[in-house]
Structure 1
Amino acid sequence: MAEAQRIYLAKKDVEKAEWISPPPSAPLVPKSNLMSETVEPNGNPVQFMHGQFSTKEQKFRCYSCLPKRCRNFYCRCLVWMFCVLLLFIVAIVIAASILYAVFQPRIPKYSVDNVQITGFSLSLDATVSSQFTVRVRMTNPNKKIGIYYLDDSYLGVFYTGTEICRGELPAFYQGHKNTTNLNLVLTGTNVQITSEMVTLLKEQKQLGSIPLHLKADVPVKVQFGKVKTVKITFRVHCDLVVVRLHEDISVTISTKKCKVKL
């Protein structure tokens, strides 16, 4: 009787254990997809799970798995590329230094010597029509450099930020140590201005102090010996103060200041 009871209890424990234990199930991801294998240079296989290493670490492991001869080749290539780039930069610096020492380039000088107003009218609808004749002095101070002035230049006269007339420079060649004076005609027709600008202009005409701004974009090619550069543009800005804006009279310039930039 005792033996039968012990057998019953054993079967009951077994059934309870089977009821508690979950049935075995297949893995969600096949093992072959979780594991990867690579071979080190010494021939030993190495397994690791995907996601165990970051992308940077995996690239490093791949690089470390390359034969030593290949790694040395890549390193030598990088060193040679760096050396060639460094030599190229040094050669450019040396060539520029030699050119500067030989030719001693200097930026041309520009100034406005005279302004003559051949037409200026202010309409009741706050429009301005004007025609200026401006004498521009252009100086090339270089002893060994010539300047080719190109087409498509621009020259404009501004009053309080508004362009009132415009013109352009002619195309010509300026030799070494040369000064050229040009009389340039600038015109503007029915330029709209504000009522505040009209009031300000009348006040400044009475005071005899009218500020004008002359702006020029001058495309040129510079010649070093027999070699011409690509097209570069000089930016000229001149601040002028004239005493009046009367027609057919050479206007007196009380203040003038010009700057040149590339």
Structure 2
Amino acid sequence: MSGRHEHRYSYSSEESGNRHEEENQLVPVVNNNQALVPMYQKHVAPPGTYVVQIPKDQIYRIPPPENARRFENYTRKGKKKSGPSCCCCALFWIIGILLFLGFLAVIASVIFYIVLRPKALQYSVENFSIKGLDGNLTLSSSSSSLKLSPEFDVTLKSQNPNGKISFFYFTEGSSVTVSYSDVELSTGTFETFYQPTKNAKVIEMALKSNNGVKMSNETRVSLIDHQELGNIPFELDLNVPVKVKVGSIKTWKITLKVHCHVSKNGLKVNSALVSSRCGVKAKALG
């Protein structure tokens, strides 16, 4: 092999002993002060290139296999430990974003209320005419129930007191029901129309019973008793899909739920309206 120098030394036992003696003997050295200083002279290997050969079975890769397995186990444990921490961090950010969006929604609602000053819609029953009940209640009730076909002509007044909010009413999906003591008497639908700001609208509705109403003897007697008292309570329920318009922006459809308590002094067509009271709630359509 190029660049390789081999130095071989062979000594006899006598020569080896003499050599060690020569290496360890004191050699006088003269310094500037003319004093003798004892020194050891050591043998120095001659310069050159040396090749060290190691058997293959003693060569190990870096890292050794056992260290590689330890490192892999350590990284797995680190991943397991970091899992919950990552989940907590992600959960923290999600909660933070939701709180921020909720804060923005509250601010938007406050601005909306301050700028628009929204007011609730107002409803009132102007007319409540009854057909098909007067006289039929006094018929002989030998059976346990009596089948009737009542009709109602209802006039409802809707008022929009808002100065910057208008409404679109839709017939599709609407329902109007008149009932007495939880017994549904007649049904119908609401009409489609647009109600602008600061506007009052009168709606007329004809409600009928398509398949007739089976009225129990108990309900019939209760209706007669209220008629004699001159105060017959009815309930009027309206479910109407509407869209709210603010400027040029329209919202999605919401359902207005109007519930009215109506009292009549009789069951004739021209019976007087004793009292009426209506309330309204809004529900978003899912």
TM-score w.r.t. the length of structure 1 is: 0.68
Partner of 1:148: 168
| Structure 1 residue 85, shift from structure 2 partner | 3.4
Amino acid at match of 1:174: Q
CA distance in 1, matches of 2:88, 2:153: 68
1:183-225: CA deviation from partner (whole Å, max 9, x where unpaired):
2111125210101111122222222221111111111111111
Partner of 1:163: 184
> After superposition, where does 1:162-241 map in structure 2 within 5 Å?
162-189=183-210, 190-241=212-263
Decide whether the 8 Å contact of 2:132 with 2:148 is kept in 1.
no
Describe the shift of the 1:63–1:103 C-alpha distance in structure 2 as closer, same or farther (beyond 3 A).
same
Amino acid at match of 2:128: V
Describe the shift of the 1:38–1:170 C-alpha distance in structure 2 as closer, same or farther (beyond 3 A).
farther
* SS of residue in 2 equivalent to 1:100: helix
2:273 matches 1:253: yes
Describe the shift of the 1:38–1:197 C-alpha distance in structure 2 as closer, same or farther (beyond 3 A).
farther
Describe the shift of the 1:62–1:113 C-alpha distance in structure 2 as closer, same or farther (beyond 3 A).
same
2:264 matches 1:242: yes
2:125 matches 1:105: no
CA distance in 1, matches of 2:224, 2:86: 80
Describe the shift of the 1:81–1:169 C-alpha distance in structure 2 as closer, same or farther (beyond 3 A).
closer
CA distance in 1, matches of 2:255, 2:243: 9
Describe the shift of the 1:252–1:81 C-alpha distance in structure 2 as closer, same or farther (beyond 3 A).
same
| Structure 1 residue 246, shift from structure 2 partner | 1.0
2:99 matches 1:86: yes
Instruction: Give aligned-pair identity as a percent.
Output: 31
| Structure 1 residue 174, shift from structure 2 partner | 0.1
CA distance in 2, matches of 1:233, 1:109: 15
Cα root mean square deviation, aligned:
3.0
1:43-77: CA deviation from partner (whole Å, max 9, x where unpaired):
6977xxxxxxxxxxxx987544x6xxx99988766
Q: 1:133 aligns with which of 141, 153, 171?
A: 153
Larger radius of gyration: 2
Describe the shift of the 1:38–1:87 C-alpha distance in structure 2 as closer, same or farther (beyond 3 A).
farther
**Whose strand fraction is larger, Structure 1's or Structure 2's?**
1
| Structure 1 residue 166, shift from structure 2 partner | 1.4
Amino acid at match of 2:196: G
Partner of 1:21: none
| Structure 1 residue 93, shift from structure 2 partner | 2.1
* SS of residue in 1 equivalent to 2:261: strand
Structure 1: runs of 5 or more not aligned: 1-36, 47-58
| Structure 1 residue 78, shift from structure 2 partner | 5.7
| Structure 1 residue 256, shift from structure 2 partner | 1.7
CA distance in 1, matches of 2:221, 2:72: 93
Amino acid at match of 2:247: G
Matched residue pairs, number? 205
CA distance in 1, matches of 2:91, 2:217: 68
Amino acid at match of 2:241: P
Describe the shift of the 1:185–1:61 C-alpha distance in structure 2 as closer, same or farther (beyond 3 A).
same
* SS of residue in 1 equivalent to 2:150: strand
* SS of residue in 2 equivalent to 1:188: coil
Describe the shift of the 1:38–1:245 C-alpha distance in structure 2 as closer, same or farther (beyond 3 A).
farther
Amino acid at match of 1:105: P
CA distance in 2, matches of 1:257, 1:38: 82
